[in-house]
Chains A and B, each alone.
Chain A
Amino acid sequence: MGNARPRRLFAIAVAIACACVSAAARPSASDLPIEEALITSNAPGHPGGRIVVALRSEPKTLNPVLAQDATSRDVIRCLTADLIDINRATQKTEPALAKSWTVSPDGRLYTLHLRRALRFSDGQPLDADDVIFSFDLYLDEKIDSPQRDLLVVGGKPIVVRKIDAYTVQFALAQPYAAAERLFDGFAILPRHLLEGAYQSGAFDKAWGIGMSPAEFAGLGPFKLKEYVPGQRIVLDRNPYYWKLDRSGQRLPYVDQVVFLFVASEDAQAIRFQAGDTDLLTHLSSENYAVLEKQQSSRHYHLDDLGAGLEYNFLFFNLNDLSSKSLPEIVRKQAWFQDVRFRQAVSAAIDRDSLVRLVYGGRAAPLWTQVTPGNKLWIDPAIPHATRSLDRSRELLKSAGFSWKPDGTLVDARGSVVEFSILTSSSNQQRVKIATLIQDDLKPLGINVQVVTLEFHSMVDRLLTSYDYEAAIMGLVSGDADPTSEMNVWMSNGDTHLWHPSQTKPATPWESEMDHLMEQQQVTLDSSKRKRLYDRVQEIVAEDLPVICLVGPDILVGASDRVGNLQPAIMDPYTLWNIDQLYIKQSR
């Protein structure tokens, strides 16, 4: 007890020192000419304080070129900046490091003008060489960046050329409708720090999670401070950040962002409820219901943003299994390949029940891959058929199925119709969906088994061994724009789940879908593009390669202390405008 007093004194001393440091680290905006800065439209906030956020897992790397997992990308987004940004709230593009850009009339040449006098977080200036260097890395086949595919348009990599110290030109092999959106997520890297590693061939080890903060510099609102394995990553305010609010105050407002590693969604909800964290993304509807009750007493608020870009669906194994010895599945494929069978299954599913029972009403029933959250692209003409067992029975009858006296469905050859639905045991919602569908199909005389597997063994069956009958999966579109969905709907895509990586389209509707997707990618007229993608949605709704089921709402939470919050349905939901967030002063 005797040392309590000195310790308190020490704490006060530290607090004063911190205050001085933060005051010192907040240089006036004099090094940043006002005409070069990006002026944000948010309400001015108070400087200081810190924001604590939970991450589901530790980031695997802080190297933007190599990062693949969502948590790495969440952290990297705070540390780096890109040329053109997608505003998560409007879902439209806006200038970032590029102050402006022009497009050639044929849509193949993009000329970007960089802001001048910008500095990396270590004080070194940014110029066109850094941009060229960064895109060299993303395009290098040896480095094999997971984002490289995005930069290959019409089969050819984009060519990046320096015009002058602050102008860069991007040449595309063919017109590319979503080209502006492409730049979002391509962080610009400091050549002065990384060129050595790149030249010596050690780039794949650069900027690993264990690096010293001095090795890192970025253009994002924050810079790396410390990483404590198994516990947290701490980021400090970047004093050279290039955004000012309308009162001329330099962003970001908060001094620190702390990412805690909290493994499960439940644990994240509990930590948030206890006030340990300030922001909560990825909240399940069940935990939303639990947390909702204490909103005012615990000083936080929850937000239901409506359907996000995630769509959950049931699909059947339509792979070509001739080279595999899976006779049982090949026999059942005779049913799966019949569109009337798929339509009958779809008509028998009670989507409203899924919304109500699985998501507590916080989801939208789906008939195509586009959720109501994607307002620019949804096709309102797609019929929203409600559950109809009569229609299912009619379809099955017309496809040659019949019923035994005890109600069991049999096919034309008299064998009993039963199949298994595979889903991941770690996703409780999808297990629930499977169980409800099992019950929905019972009145048709179809016997369904629900098989839950650990996630990796499930993915192995779906994408490698093809040893499954049906499965429930969900995909989250990376962007509202359909171009982010190319690998799902193109028959040669590796996420074309029901029959991935085809050499040529197996069915007429897949061939039509290929054509439509290719067309929408190069069509510059946005209403024409919309019509093309509407047709893709029609095919999904009619031919049912995947039977779309539900799109869960994006549910987020934030402490009442946090100001300027503008949660969006696009990843990273609450964090996308972290440079504008501030901590409200307590009275």
Chain B
Amino acid sequence: MTLRHTLRLTIILLAVLHALIFFAGFIAPYGFSSQNRDLTFAPPAQIHFVDAHGKIHGRPFVYGLKTDALDPTGYEIDPSQIHPLEFFVAGAPYKIAGLLPATRHLFGVRAPSQIFLMGTDAYGRDQFSRFLYGGQISLLAGLLAAAGALTIAIAVGALAGYYRGWIDEILMRTGELFVALPWLYLLFAVRAVLPLHIAGWQVFLLLVAVMGLLGWARPARLIRGVVLSAKERNFVLAARGFGASDFYLLGRHILPQASGVILTQLALLIPQYVLAEVTLSFLGLGVSEPTPSWGSLLSSLQQYYVLSSYWWMFLPAVLLVPVFLLYYAAANALQERFRSVQL
């Protein structure tokens, strides 16, 4: 596969992934906070075409669950209950992009029976729905924090590389300070002094802001390096000779040279920040219950009984691996591509 194909493929896959997460409300059969207190830790449903009597069904179906006679905390499949899968069903109301109210869901089974593709958690909430909704928080946090960090990095890198001298010194030393900050402890401290009655989305924005603020220093150094070499190029010197302003030079001639670095950094920073959000939520510092994020979906794995008894609680972790790999593949492909362009 050529470089171009790799890049195109990873970008298409990433777009599909983001679309899935964006339309979580439509694809998820249930809301992220709806509890089923009689179906805690239900195992993932298996989709069947052939029933216990060997009869083939045109419409895929799932079996109902009943409590295991031997183990009151477990379930067993009840072959007498067959719930056919239905598509574009009416269900819990949700909002597309937080604005458009809707009630249709991609798939579901007829109430009161339910379908849990990835099982349920300790409250009987559908893990599949929570994974999709959790992606909204985690990916958005990653995107926003990466964008924030890069914006600061571009401004700082350009100023430092272009003006050199004391501006460079101050900005780069400050950057080193930020790299050396123990950000996890900083976040612990920030969370402890915050007022309690801040809403979940405020916590979220705060997380994003802190992560973005703390991550600008490394990309800023890279951009500074590119700016340093670009501003000595002949066409830049020529433009300066014609009397171009600093602002014009930076915007028109110098920063475009850094676009490869910026895009690559973006592709690297997004998964890094998604992971940072996952880490924070795993430690209980992220968005609070019942709002899911990828990290909070994993946090129950800290407990031995979940770890040892309910394998489907690992599924979010398994699904995160390809997500991160996609981003890193995209970053790789971008880097290769810009290197070949520069040569």
Assess the B123–A436 pair: CB atoms within 8 A.
Answer: yes
The segment from B43-51, B108-116, B195-203 that touches chain A is B195-203
Alpha-carbon distance A422/B191, docked complex (angstroms): 13
Of the residues B35, B72, B200, B284, contact of A439 by C-beta under 8 Å: B35
In the complex where A357-B37, A436-B123, A452-B284 touch, is A428 in contact with B196 (Cβ < 8 A)?
no
- Shortest CB-to-CB span from B228 to chain A, Å, is 44
Alpha-carbon distance A286/B306, docked complex (angstroms): 8
Does B309 sit within 8 A of A, measured CB to CB?
yes
Closest to A449 in B: B288
Does B290 sit within 8 A of A, measured CB to CB?
yes
Assess the A451–B288 pair: CB atoms within 8 A.
Answer: yes
Assess the A357–B123 pair: CB atoms within 8 A.
Answer: yes
Assess the B304–A270 pair: CB atoms within 8 A.
Answer: yes
In the complex where A286-B303, A454-B188 touch, is A435 in contact with B290 (Cβ < 8 A)?
yes
Assess the B197–A328 pair: CB atoms within 8 A.
Answer: yes
Within 8 A of B (CB), among A335-359: 350, 353, 356-357
Assess the B188–A353 pair: CB atoms within 8 A.
Answer: no
Alpha-carbon distance A420/B197, docked complex (angstroms): 6
Chain B residues positioned under 8 Å from A453 (CB to CB): 191-192
Chain B residues positioned under 8 Å from A166 (CB to CB): none
Does A467 sit within 8 A of B, measured CB to CB?
yes
Assess the B289–A435 pair: CB atoms within 8 A.
Answer: yes
In the complex where A436-B123, A438-B289 touch, is A451 in contact with B284 (Cβ < 8 A)?
no
B13-37 to A contact mask, C-beta < 8 Å, 1/0: 0000000000000000000010101
- Shortest CB-to-CB span from B104 to chain A, Å, is 21
Assess the B305–A287 pair: CB atoms within 8 A.
Answer: yes
Closest to A453 in B: B192
Alpha-carbon distance A452/B72, docked complex (angstroms): 30
- Shortest CB-to-CB span from B283 to chain A, Å, is 8
Within 8 A of A (CB), among B290-317: 290, 303-306, 308-309
Interface centre among A290, A361, A418 (most CB of B within 10 A): A290
- Shortest CB-to-CB span from A476 to chain B, Å, is 22
Closest to B124 in A: A357
Looking at chain B, what size class is its interface with the partner chain?
20 to 34
Assess the A428–B40 pair: CB atoms within 8 A.
Answer: no
Within 8 A of B (CB), among A454-512: 454, 457, 461, 467-469
- Shortest CB-to-CB span from B253 to chain A, Å, is 51
In the complex where A436-B123, A453-B192 touch, is A290 in contact with B309 (Cβ < 8 A)?
yes
Assess the A438–B197 pair: CB atoms within 8 A.
Answer: no
Assess the B309–A419 pair: CB atoms within 8 A.
Answer: no
In the complex where A438-B289, A449-B197 touch, is A290 in contact with B123 (Cβ < 8 A)?
no
Does B96 sit within 8 A of A, measured CB to CB?
no
Chain B residues positioned under 8 Å from A422 (CB to CB): 196
Of the residues A266, A432, A457, contact of B122 by C-beta under 8 Å: A432
Chain A residues positioned under 8 Å from B306 (CB to CB): 286
Alpha-carbon distance A223/B72, docked complex (angstroms): 45
Alpha-carbon distance A498/B315, docked complex (angstroms): 42
Chain A residues positioned under 8 Å from B195 (CB to CB): 328, 467
B261-305 to A contact mask, C-beta < 8 Å, 1/0: 000000000000000000000001000111000000000000111
Does B229 sit within 8 A of A, measured CB to CB?
no
Closest to B38 in A: A356
In the complex where A287-B304, A431-B289, A438-B290 touch, is A353 in contact with B37 (Cβ < 8 A)?
yes
Assess the B304–A428 pair: CB atoms within 8 A.
Answer: no
Chain B residues positioned under 8 Å from A269 (CB to CB): 304
Alpha-carbon distance A350/B35, docked complex (angstroms): 13
Assess the A452–B288 pair: CB atoms within 8 A.
Answer: yes
Chain A residues positioned under 8 Å from B200 (CB to CB): 449
- Shortest CB-to-CB span from A446 to chain B, Å, is 14
Does A400 sit within 8 A of B, measured CB to CB?
no
Does A360 sit within 8 A of B, measured CB to CB?
yes
Closest to B300 in A: A428
- Shortest CB-to-CB span from A150 to chain B, Å, is 34
Chain B residues positioned under 8 Å from A439 (CB to CB): 33, 35, 123, 290
Chain A residues positioned under 8 Å from B73 (CB to CB): 289, 360
Closest to A285 in B: B305
Chain B residues positioned under 8 Å from A468 (CB to CB): 196
- Shortest CB-to-CB span from B207 to chain A, Å, is 15
Within 8 A of B (CB), among A387-440: 418-420, 422, 425, 428, 431-432, 434-436, 438-439
Does A32 sit within 8 A of B, measured CB to CB?
no
- Shortest CB-to-CB span from A554 to chain B, Å, is 18
Alpha-carbon distance A457/B196, docked complex (angstroms): 12
Closest to A326 in B: B195
Chain B residues positioned under 8 Å from A330 (CB to CB): none
Of the residues B35, B192, B308, contact of A454 by C-beta under 8 Å: B192
The 4 closest A-B pairs by CB, nearest first: A286-B305, A266-B304, A457-B192, A425-B284
> Which residues of A approach B to under 8 Å, CB–CB?
266, 269-270, 284, 286-287, 289-290, 328, 350, 353, 356-357, 360-361, 418-420, 422, 425, 428, 431-432, 434-436, 438-439, 449-454, 457, 461, 467-469
The 5 sampled A-B contact pairs (Cβ below 8 Å) are A266-B304, A284-B305, A286-B306, A357-B37, A428-B303
- Add 9 more A-B contacts to A270-B304, A451-B288, A452-B288 (CB < 8 A): A266-B304, A290-B305, A357-B37, A431-B289, A439-B33, A439-B35, A439-B123, A449-B200, A450-B289
